Amino acid sequence: EIPVLFKRELQNEEAREGKQVKLTCELSKPGTPVKWMKGDTVLYASEKYEFKQRGTVAELIIQDVKSIDS
């Protein structure tokens, strides 16, 4: 089986504290499960983190951004 690769990797994003920020990547194979992490910590869907995936594009939306989210 062909390995899944990033067609478009994450880019640095800037956001104001208290606002939201969207991080997007694109994979080489649609429907591939994505695990979002901050360092060694796996992120789970919550009021803070929202995950979306359409085809090859995966998004992480972080609500109420704080400096600790960088």
Lookup result for tokens 């080489």: 28
Among 5, 3, 13, which residue's Cα sits nearest to residue 60? 13
DSSP 8-state class, residue 68: G
User: Would residue 54 count as lying in a domain?
Assistant: yes
Whether pTM > 0.85 for this model: the answer is yes
- Domain holding 24, by residue range, is 6-62
User: Would residue 14 count as lying in a domain?
Assistant: yes
Structure tokens of 21?
Answer: 């920020």
Angle at alpha carbon of residue 41, lines to 2 and 23, rounded to 5°: 65
Structure confidence by residue, pLDDT tens digits, 13-42: 889 999 999 999 999 999 889 999 999 999
Q: What is the CATH number of the domain that holds 35?
A: 2.60.40.10
| pLDDT over threshold 80, residue 56 | yes
User: Would residue 49 count as lying in a domain?
Assistant: yes
User: Would residue 70 count as lying in a domain?
Assistant: no
User: Would residue 1 count as lying in a domain?
Assistant: no
Structure tokens of 60?
Answer: 């992480």
Task: Please count the structural domains in the chain.
Answer: 1
The set of long-range contacts for 6-14, using a CB threshold of 8 Å and a minimum separation of 24, is 7/56
